[in-house]
Amino acid sequence: MPGTNELHAIAERHDADDPLAGWRDEFHVADPDLAYLDGNSLGMPPKRTFDRVERLLRDEWGSGLIRSWDHWLDMPQRVGDQLAPLIGAAPGEVAVHDSTTVNLYQIIRTALRLRPDRSVIAIDPGDFPTDRYVVDSIAAADDLTVRAGFDRLDDVAVAVRSMIDYRTAEITDIVAETARATADGALVVWDLSHAAGLHPVDLNAAGAQLAVGCTYKFLNGGPGAPAFTYVAADLIEQLDEPFHGWFAQTDQFAMGARFRPRDDIGRMLVGTPGMLGLVAAQCGIEVTAEAGIDAIRAKSIALGRFGLGCCDALGLATSTPRIDDRRGGHLCVNHPDAKRLTTRLAAERKVLADFREPDVIRLGCSPLTTRFSDVARAALAIAELSS
């Protein structure tokens, strides 16, 4: 087993050679000695976010008051257009609005209306809880059947799938799985929460029609930052989304008696957008776009390889895929005492990770802020605390 000094030396060499190392300076790092490995739950704040939000508060809201709505109204679509290239979407196919849960509920119900002759929703029983809860609530309200897994799709109306597993970081092949579902007449709603800002998703090339995702993880949008909705351009005008909110009305300020949905992605909007959250999300999206999604993905792969190497060298069990194309942005260390170890990592070693049932210490590697030395520290600390 390599010694502590040897692993740290290897990590330091990787950090010295890291072409993205300078991007950490774009973020507010309150404690340089903290190994922050929870960026897949909440990314660090970009420095520009502080200035941008303050400017909005002081100048746009404070001085502009109601007049600022002249450039706020279309912010969900403008920020969506900035996000679109990062997920392989075209301009006009993405809106940033509301929460992941709201958007997921909205898009599933909308998709169900496109398959009125089918009554099955498919989902992985191990998928993220919010996704499962939303599916269960819709099924209960509409007397639909929830199917565990995706082996059979020929009678499925909507399949709800995460591109990257929130526990193991395993990547699903969205090209193959979208094609399989489409061939069987099912619609897929892709949850990109653990992929957006990390992986160069190409929704258009995959033939994907519907997707949602959050902006507070790898996109560094901040706590409670608004989520996004993607709808393929050729499907937008077919959608009858269920909320019929004021911001989705064709002539919003006519105050008409009848709802007439917009003919663009704006028809997915619900209510008044939260401008503070939108501006913060915009900052995180900008930093990601400027650094480059391909470079981010390359470092993510390198961090994963290094972390797996640390696990192997230290005798730590891991369920994270070893094939680069199958692995997302976090590492899972499996240990029967994982919950207590995660607490001790923070209290005794200044390593912030998180725990996932039943036995996972999850090390989130956010490429723009995570150092190889952070990963080495975490692996060594887990090995020492569990010995």
The catalytic position among 128, 166, 230, 247 is: 128
Calpha distance 161→258 (Å, rounded): 35
The CA-based angle 361-366-370, given to 5 degrees, is 90
**How, if at all, do strands 228-231 and 94-96 pair?**
antiparallel
166 is annotated as an active-site residue: no
Query: Exposed/middle/buried for 290, CB within 10 Å: 0-12, 13-18, 19+?
Result: exposed
217 is annotated as an active-site residue: yes
Cβ neighbors of 87 (< 8 A, separation 6 or more) are: 94, 192, 195, 196, 201, 202, 203, 211, 213, 230
- Active site includes 350? no
Answer yes or no: are the C-beta atoms of 236 and 133 closer than 8 Å.
no
Token pair of 87 as six digits: 């997920």
User: CA-to-CA distance for 284 and 45, rounded, in angstroms?
Assistant: 8
**Annotated catalytic residue: which of 38, 131, 191, 354?**
191
Catalytic residue chosen out of the listed positions 297, 327, 362, 371: 362
Element (H, E) at 74: none
Phi, psi of 16 (to 5 degrees): -65, -30
Q: Which two tokens stand for residue 128?
A: 């993220």
362 noted as active-site residue = yes
Cα 263 from Cα 248, distance rounded (Å)? 9
The span from the CA of 30 to the CA of 8, in Å, is 22
Catalytic residue of the set 216, 228, 230, 306: 216
Under DSSP, is residue 191 helix (H, G, I), strand (E, B) or coil? strand
133 part of the active site: no
Task: Check 147, 167, 217, 371 and give the catalytic one.
Answer: 217
Q: What residues are annotated to the active site? A: 128, 191, 216-217, 362
